[in-house]
Amino acid sequence: MAALLWLVGAGALHVWLRGDPDRPWRGALVLTGAALLLFSPAYPWYSPLVVAFVALDGRAEWLTVTVAGTVLYLAGGLSQHFPLPACAYGTAATAVGIGACLRARAGRRRRWR
């Protein structure tokens, strides 16, 4: 638990130092989404905040975090017999990572032109 809190704190420090002041919702999306990925709640009512920040920022890959929470909620007791939380949030984290890599790659291409 202490390691998770440290990771969220490190993410907050990164957003504070390197975040874009003209787009504060981007940092809020990263922090909220990362907290949901790290603590993996099985309740879908935490997700509307991520959806709102995605609407502002346009980073649709973060919607997979919302889907993961909803899947866990709908699965109910199934998650006790199967590593469903790890699969759901692991898939969401992979999608977010791939989206970040693709955006960084596209940004580098634009700078070279």
Structure tokens at 36: 């949901």
Q: What tens digit of pLDDT does each residue of 85-102 get?
A: 888 889 999 999 999 999
Q: How far apart are CA 22 and CA 28, in angstroms?
A: 12
Q: What tens digit of pLDDT does each residue of 27-73 get?
A: 999 999 999 988 878 777 888 899 999 999 989 999 999 998 888 88
Q: What is the pLDDT of residue 43?
A: 77
Say which residues have a Cβ less than 8 Å from residue 39's Cβ, sequence separation at least 6: 4
pLDDT band at 1 (very low <50, low <70, confident <90, very high): confident
Q: What is the pLDDT of residue 81?
A: 64
Q: How far apart are CA 29 and CA 113, in angstroms?
A: 29
* Nearest residue to 54 via CA among 67, 43, 41: 67
Query: CA angle, 71 as apex, 32 and 10 as ends, to 5°?
Result: 20
